[in-house]
Each structure stands twice: as C-alpha cells, then as structure tokens.
Amino acid sequence: MSALSTLFARTRAEDRAALVGYLPAGYPTETGAIDAFRAMVDAGVDVIEVGLPYSDPLMDGPTIQRAVDAALRAGTTTAAVMRTVEAVAACGVPTLVMTYWNPVERYGVDRFAHDLATAGGCGVITPDLLPEEASPWLGAVDAAAIDPVFLVAPSSSDDRITATAAVCRGFVYAASTMGVTGARDSVGDRAQELVTRTRAVTQLPIGVGLGVSTGAQAGEVASYADAVIVGSALVRCLLDAANPQAGLTALHTLTSELAAGVRHGAG
C-alpha cells in the first residue's frame, strides 16, 4: 500500500476525513517553509502538499501568487522543492508535490518522479495535465511507485470525471468551485454534487479543495468528502504575520482549528 492508501485506511477507520494542507516551498525562505510545514504537522494535518513555485500559474489566486512570487525571487528551484519534501516527509506524514506540468517537463519527467520518490515524496498533483496527455507521466510515476493525482471540477462532464479518476491513484482532487484558488466565505454549493458524481465512477478517496478557510467549513466538507484540502488560508497566515514566529503561531492555530473541524464536524 502507498502512504496515501495507508493514511486513508486509517482515517476511514477513525470515521473522519483527512486534512490536507498546502504551502509553497521557499516562502518565506527555504528553511522558513520547512518550519511552517512542521508547525502544520504538529497541529494535526494529515497530508502535506508542497507547492512548486511557478512563474505562470493558471489556478493560483492572489494570496498564493504573492507567496510564490516571493519564493521565485528568492531563487527557489525544483531542487529546493525536493529538499523541502525530504525534510517534511521525515516528519512521518504523506507528502505530495503540487506542480504545474511545465516545470516537470523542464526538469525531466522520469528524473522528477525518481527524485521525488528518493526524497520520500508519495505523489504529485498536476492541475493542468489532462489524462489523455499523461502517458509519459503515468509511466514515470509507475516506475517510481508514487501516486498521480488529477483534478475534476463542477464543469467536468461525466466522461471527463470517469477518464480522470481512472488515471488517479491515492485520491481524486475535486475542485469545489470554478476559477482560481482562494479562501471564501463559503465552499461552492456544487462541491457535494461533484463528490457524488465522482464517487459513482471510482472507489478512490475524494478530496475537496479551493475555498476552505475555517474549522466550520472543514467540518462541512468532511461530512461528504474523504479529505479537506486547504491552501490559501494557510498561506495567508504567513503573509499577514508581522514576523516569522508570529506566522508560525497563526499557522499552528488555524491548522488546529481545521484539524478539529475534520475530526468533529462543523458543529
């Protein structure tokens, strides 16, 4: 079993959803990002997403873009992302990379999968890679024994959801809303419908992301999804902090609230 399969077996046994937390590597610094990931693990996150900073993001909202831009200006490279994965995976939680496809191609498809597995990473989320164009990548992740995760959205047809779920391992990422990432006052109304449509064609766990920012929202999503994915709200803890220590404190506090939400529900 992969690290993700083992994790979801445990959360199912505990009758709860998993909490997946995202931050970009390299923000506020390479070591500062590692400290932030460790704070999230300490506060109860189940799975870590390490974002690979990219200069032309398609889905990132303004919060994540600010942090990613700063990480790129500081010289964050794919090699730095791999070092970050190694440090975070050593904490004992499943660790994935979230990346657009272009950096993977530039680094080398087989090399990327191999180096990630060597660093202790267990999977990769590729939001802009289509299943019908993924054959080289699927071969690389098979060889490296890591899980490929693809996205479905409310606009996805039933055929698209079926094709996407068929090439996923670990879990299927269900984007709750159309558009870019960002914390919202409410999670998209179509998220639960999307989960239902996706469950009809796969037995894989389904994680819902884009918009969750509070423990109450996490509890709401946890009532129908297998994982609650949070990014922008966590990044904002670091962006809004007066200093790095204040950022870590805010991050720990919010992660604890979200972890309580997925364990105990919105109420």
Peptide bond into 28 cis (omega under 30): yes
Query: How confident is the model at residue 188, as a pLDDT?
Result: 52
Query: How confident is the model at residue 1, as a pLDDT?
Result: 77
Q: Three-class SS of residue 213?
A: coil
DSSP state of 91: T
pTM for the model: 0.93
Model confidence pLDDT, tens digit, residues 85-132: 999 999 999 999 999 999 999 999 999 999 999 999 999 999 999 999
Query: How confident is the model at residue 181, as a pLDDT?
Result: 44
- Where does 1-43 show beta strands of DSSP type E? 18-24
- In the chain, the percentage of residues whose pLDDT exceeds 70 is 93
Query: How confident is the model at residue 227, as a pLDDT?
Result: 97
Bridge partners, residue 208, by sequence? 174, 228
Identify the active-site residue in 49, 147, 220, 226: 49
Identify the active-site residue in 30, 35, 56, 60: 60
Active site residue 49: yes
Query: How confident is the model at residue 38, as a pLDDT?
Result: 98
Give me 252's structure tokens: 């720990």
Give me 48's structure tokens: 């870590």
Contact assessment for residue 119 and residue 90, using Cβ atoms and an 8 Å cutoff = no
φ/ψ (deg, to 5) at 227: -150, 145
Where are the domains positioned within the chain? 3-264
Active site residue 240: no
| Closest CA relative to residue 4, chosen from 253, 166, 173, 232 | 173
Query: How confident is the model at residue 139, as a pLDDT?
Result: 98
Superfamily per CATH, domain 3-264:
Aldolase class I (3.20.20.70)
Regions of the chain short of the pLDDT cut 70 = 57-58, 177-189, 265-267
